[in-house]
Amino acid sequence: MIVRIVKLRISKEKTKDFCIFFNSKKSEIEEFKGCIKVELLQDTKESNQYFTHSHWEDEQSLDNYRNSVFFKNVWNNTKLYFCGKPQAWSLKELTNE
């Protein structure tokens, strides 16, 4: 399993619209082949800093999603809310090894 964490800094005046946009796409992301779950998290101290946290069956499933037309459309729209450069990490769970 692959865990993907993406850190997003959103313009303060756009945070509400960003959350609405994310929630409108969440179920479509979760329906993508290989996606186990996806959630949006908000920093407790910086209210305009968000993280997406998703679980994928494997790296190929994540890559297929990231190379899809759907992702490209979502990402292009997501960038409209940014006020900083996003950061992303792909991680694997070690507790079962």
Q: Which residue shows structure tokens 């992301």?
A: 29
Domains present along the chain, CATH in parentheses? 2-92 (3.30.70.100)
Mean per-residue pLDDT pooled into runs of 10, the chain (97 residues) = 97 98 98 98 98 97 98 97 97 79
Strand partners, 39: 53
How far is residue 66's CA from residue 90's CA, in Å, rounded to a whole number? Answer: 12
Can you give the C-alpha Rg of the chain in angstroms? 13
For the entire predicted model, the pTM comes to 0.92
Tokens coding 3: 């865990």
Look at residues 97, 95, 88 and name the one whose alpha carbon lies nearest to residue 5.
Answer: 88
- Nearest 5 degrees, angle CA 94-CA 96-CA 97? 70
